[in-house]
């Protein structure tokens, strides 16, 4: 069992600390045991509809903003991390202050479900009390310390959970971004017979098709002849036309991403992604609470999404 770092304690106080640690470990074991049921209830069919239906409404505006902000946020975080390594003390504070994005109704709902159902604080109370009661019966004078200690633990748990849920919401935004990349690649392959991994790639293809159709209609020998001619000598879209097409495609993809959870949540259940992520979340919370640490819960999803964005940008630049 992991021990909480503390100065020399009396035998009675050490027993109380030991009981609190046992209660914490018992609480997180209950959380782990509830993960499969939680996933089935909220991320599998039909629960995923109840989870994601809140996307109708204001989230149609918030989700696109989050998708556009996500790569900027990640780059700023990496830059601030480099500043921290270089010795700038204020960089960490700026990184903590920097918003990860707008909290959508879907994200707020998932946060509440995790806190109320998966990380129910009442279970922590009961778990600690279960181990403290036998000691309290033996030590009448010990009643004040457990109460004070427990309140401190509950405050620490809330702080750690808030940070972890912030990271979890970033992973959902990244999952929507990744699904957009896959969707764009599928549309490009089916509709245009081209590999278009992302909004930029498919936007350039759409701009090319748009310019070609317009040129065909204006061809001096007629639209049919124009189709033959511009198939052999395709016209090039200018920068403005490319930008308009890219912006329009990314706007459409952002709206699609708002509801992507209806597809990606069940898929992540089948692949075990939700289970691994929540298990990692609970394990990190337990580790941080026992060690009085705030190392934070991190996922790789935002980095995967940014790598795909970079690949899309590089490929599109080559195409230009």
DSSP 255-280: HHHHTTHHHHHHHHHHHTHHHHHHHH
Residues composing the chain = 320
Question: Per mean pLDDT, which range of 43-57, 107-121, 251-265 is the poorest?
Answer: 251-265
Specify the higher pLDDT residue, 227 or 310: 227
Q: Give the model's confidence band at 320: pLDDT under 50 very low, under 70 low, under 90 confident, else very high.
A: very low
pLDDT at 311 over 50: no
Q: Is residue 7 part of a domain?
A: no
Rounded to an integer, the average pLDDT of 3-9 is 46
Q: Is residue 120 part of a domain?
A: yes
Nearest one of 187, 171, 312 to 253, comparing CA atoms: 187
Which runs of consecutive H residues, i.e. helices, occur in 188-198? none
Rounded to an integer, the average pLDDT of 94-104 is 80
> What does pTM read for this prediction?
0.61
Q: Is residue 104 part of a domain?
A: yes
pLDDT of residue 181: 64
Q: Which domain holds residue 67?
A: 12-319
pLDDT at 197 over 70: no
Q: Is residue 124 part of a domain?
A: yes
Q: Is residue 271 part of a domain?
A: yes
pLDDT of residue 145: 46
Question: Domain count of the chain?
Answer: 1
Q: Is residue 4 part of a domain?
A: no
Give, rounded to a whole angstrom, the gap between the first and last alpha carbons of the chain. Answer: 59
Sign of the CA dihedral running 305, 306, 307, 312: positive
d(CA 213, CA 201): 19
Q: Is residue 6 part of a domain?
A: no
Q: Is residue 305 part of a domain?
A: yes
pLDDT of residue 34: 92
């Amino acid at each position: 069992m992991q021990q909480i770092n503390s100065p020399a304690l009396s035998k009675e106080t050490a027993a109380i600390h030991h009981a609190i640690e046992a209660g914490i470990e018992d609480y997180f074991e209950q959380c782990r045991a509830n993960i499969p049921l939680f996933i089935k209830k909220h991320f599998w069919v039909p629960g995923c509809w109840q989870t994601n239906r809140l996307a109708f409404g204001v989230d149609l505006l918030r989700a696109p903003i989050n998708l556009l902000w996500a790569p900027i946020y990640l780059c700023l975080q990496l830059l601030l991390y480099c500043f921290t390594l270089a010795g700038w003390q204020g960089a960490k504070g700026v990184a903590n202050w920097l918003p990860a994005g707008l909290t959508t109704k879907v994200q707020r709902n998932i946060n509440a479900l995790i806190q109320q159902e998966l990380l129910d604080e009442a279970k922590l109370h009961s778990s600690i009390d279960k181990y403290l009661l036998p000691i309290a019966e033996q030590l009448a004078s010990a009643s004040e310390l457990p109460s004070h200690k427990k309140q401190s633990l509950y405050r620490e748990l809330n702080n750690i959970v808030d940070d972890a849920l912030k990271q979890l919401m970033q992973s959902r935004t990244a999952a929507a971004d990744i699904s957009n990349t896959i969707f764009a690649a599928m549309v490009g392959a089916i509709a245009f017979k081209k590999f278009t991994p992302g909004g930029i790639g498919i936007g350039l293809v759409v701009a090319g098709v748009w310019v070609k159709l317009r040129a065909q209609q204006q061809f001096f020998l007629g639209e049919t002849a124009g189709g033959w001619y511009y198939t052999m000598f395709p016209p090039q879209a200018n920068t403005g036309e490319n930008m308009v097409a890219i912006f329009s495609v990314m706007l459409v993809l952002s709206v699609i991403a708002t509801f992507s959870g209806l597809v990606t949540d069940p898929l992540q259940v089948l692949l075990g992604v939700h289970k691994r992520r929540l298990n990692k979340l609970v394990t990190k919370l337990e580790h941080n609470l026992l060690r009085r640490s705030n190392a934070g819960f991190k996922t790789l999803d935002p980095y995967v999404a940014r790598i795909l964005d970079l690949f899309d940008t590089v490929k599109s630049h080559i195409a230009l």
